[in-house]
Amino acid sequence: MPRPVWHRLRPRLVGRAALAAVLGIFLIVAAFQLAAIYLDGRADGSAPLVPAVVADAPQEGEPATSTPRDQWRRGEVPFLYQIDSAWADAPYAGTDVAEAGCGPTCLSMVYVALTGKDDYDPAAMAAFSEAGGYVEDGMTAWRLMGTGAGELGLASHEVPADRSRILAELGEGRPIICSVGPGDFTTTGHFIVLAGVAEDGRVVVHDPNSPVHSAQTWDVDQIIGQARNFWAFERA
């Protein structure tokens, strides 16, 4: 007697069901992996994603308020201000962090974003810079951004003053510290952090000395026009 048709179809149906189940499991695992990469960093773990978040505009006469320490986390560049009373009076470079600590404060922001640790706030980073010999003639030496960063478990490389290269580094999740000369940010010399790219294609700046500058986005060519050097950072 010939076997019923459904007997001939059952193996095929079972096979299709098994394939669908495997595919479903694969999609679920992939979704969790993508979510983990977005929250914790790139797939190779070399550099976390850096959201381009602009600071809230300060009210007139309002003191500079840094991102609270309990909100410091890997993958987000905090807003840290050298003039914050929490560390403004810490000694640095013959004066204090408020006066001369823009370099250590910038490196502190980058360190927090790439490691998620809170052991190097601007005061601690200033002490590290002093102890390591990264202060010259009352100013932060550029070596802090290279050799000094390496001692903290970070890797850095210089980036040419080129619009496409700077945007590419930021797009890859590598925050940039920029040394600037006289212009929009200083009348002498200063360090700022380029934290990411906003939706309008302009750069989000974390200026350790100005909540006002940090509350706006900047054209990258405007920054290049007054920049002396750029360093991009990632975890070593």
184-196: per-residue pLDDT in tens? 999 999 999 999 9
- Lowest average pLDDT, out of 14-28, 90-104, 157-171, goes to 14-28
Do 135 and 180 share a structural domain? Answer: yes
pLDDT(12) > 60:
no
Task: Please compute the mean of the pLDDT values over residues 126-152 and round it to a whole number.
Answer: 98
**Average pLDDT taken over every residue of the chain:** 84
Examine residue 57 and state whether it is found in any structural domain, yes or no: no
Is position 89 within any domain? yes
pLDDT at residue 236 is higher than 50: yes
What mean pLDDT do residues 120-149 have? 98
Q: Give residue 28's pLDDT.
A: 46
| Same domain (yes/no): 94, 186 | yes
- Examine residue 187 and state whether it is found in any structural domain, yes or no: yes
What is the model's pLDDT at position 46? 37
> Is position 99 within any domain?
yes
Residue range of the domain that includes 204: 69-235
Residue 21 has pLDDT above 70, yes or no: no
Assess whether 212 and 121 both reside in one domain. yes
Q: Which of 158, 119, 135, 146 minimizes the C-alpha distance to 236?
A: 146
Number of domains observed in the structure of the chain: 2
Could you tell me if 116 and 231 lie in one domain?
Answer: yes
* 196 belongs to a structural domain: yes
pLDDT for the residue 234: 98
Q: Does the pLDDT of residue 60 top 60, yes or no?
A: no
Task: Answer whether residue 45 is part of any domain.
Answer: no
Within a domain: residue 50? Answer: no
Residue 215 shares a structural domain with residue 158: yes
Find the Cα–Cα–Cα–Cα dihedral 85, 230, 92, 215, rounded to 10°.
-10
Which CATH number is 201's domain given? 3.90.70.10
Note whether 18 and 132 are same-domain residues: no
Does 215 have pLDDT greater than 50? yes
What pLDDT, on the 0 to 100 scale, is given for residue 57? 52
Task: Examine the domain organization and report whether 22 and 73 are in the same domain.
Answer: no
Of 232, 175, 181, 236, nearest to 203 by C-alpha is 175
Q: Which of 193, 227, 160 is nearest to 78 (CA)?
A: 193
Instruction: Write out pLDDT tens, residues 88-113.
Output: 999 999 999 999 999 999 999 999 99
One-letter amino acid identity for 236?
A
pLDDT at residue 5 is higher than 80? no
